[in-house]
Amino acid sequence: MNIHEYQAKGLLRDFGLPVGQGEIILTPDAADQAAAALPGPLWVVKAQIHAGGRGKGHFRETAAGLGGGVRLARSATEAADIARQMLGQTLVTAQTGAAGRKVGRVYLEAGADIAHEFYLALLIDRQTSRISYVCSTEGGMDIETVAAETPEKVISFSVDPAAGYQPWHGRRIAFALGLTGAQVKECVDLAGKLYTAFTQCDMEMLEINPLVTDPAGHLRCLDAKIAFDNNALYRHPAIAALRDETEEDPKELVASKYDLNYIALDGTIGCMVNGAGLAMATMDIIKLYGAAPANFLDVGGGATAEKVTEAFKIITSDPNVQGILVNIFGGIMRCDIIAEGIIVAVQEVGLKVPLVVRLEGTNVELGKEIIRNSGLNVIPADDLADAAQKIVQAVKAG
Asked whether position 227 contacts ligand ADP by CB under 6 A, the answer is no
Which residue, 72 or 385, is less far from ligand ADP as judged by CB? Answer: 72
In the residue annotation, 195 being an active-site residue is answered as no
Whether residue 6 lies in the annotated active site: no
> Which is nearer to ligand ADP, 51 or 328 (by Cβ)?
51
140 is a contact residue toward ligand ADP (CB under 6 A): yes
Q: How far apart are CA 164 and CA 133, in angstroms?
A: 12
- Pairwise CA distance, residues 218 & 195, whole Å: 19
Closer to ligand ADP at the Cβ: 10 or 55? 55
Q: Kindly state the smallest distance separating residue 241's Cβ from ligand ADP, in Å.
A: 23
Report, in Å, the least distance between residue 114 CB and Mg ion: 12
Using CB under 6 A as the binding rule, the residues of this chain from 105 to 124 that contact ligand ADP are: 109, 111-112, 114, 117
* 293 lies in the site for ligand ADP, by CB under 6 A: no
- In angstroms, the CA 45 to CA 34 distance is 11
| Of residues 177, 185, 190, the one with CA closest to residue 220 | 190
CA-to-CA distance for 344 and 346, rounded, in angstroms? 6
Amino acid at 267: G
When the beta carbons of 223 and 340 are compared against Mg ion, the nearer one is 223
Q: Alpha-carbon distance 146 to 134, whole Å?
A: 13
Q: Does 18 bind ligand ADP (CB under 6 A)?
A: no
Which of 119, 133, 165, 262 does the annotation list as catalytic?
119
Q: How far is the CB of 137 from Mg ion (least distance, A)?
A: 15
336 makes contact with Mg ion (CB under 5 A):
no
For ligand ADP, the closer of residues 10 and 361 by Cβ is 10
Is there a cis peptide before residue 250, judged by omega within 30 degrees of 0?
Answer: no
Tell the smallest beta-carbon distance from residue 394 to ligand ADP (Å).
Answer: 43
Is 109 annotated as contributing to ligand binding?
A: yes
Q: Which of 25, 30, 38, 70 binds ligand ADP (CB under 6 A)?
A: 70
Which one of 23, 186, 204, 207 is the catalytic residue?
207
For the stretch 226-229, contacts whose Cβ atoms lie closer than 8 Å and that sit 24 or more positions apart, written own/partner, are 226/2, 226/3, 226/7, 226/8, 226/11, 226/201, 227/1, 227/2, 227/203, 228/1, 228/2, 228/3, 228/201, 228/202, 228/203, 228/204, 229/202, 229/203, 229/204
Cβ atoms of residues 273 and 298 within 8 Å: yes
**Binding site as annotated, residues for substrate:** 274, 331-333
- Kindly list the catalytic residues: 119, 207
**Binding site as annotated, residues for Mg(2+):** 209, 223
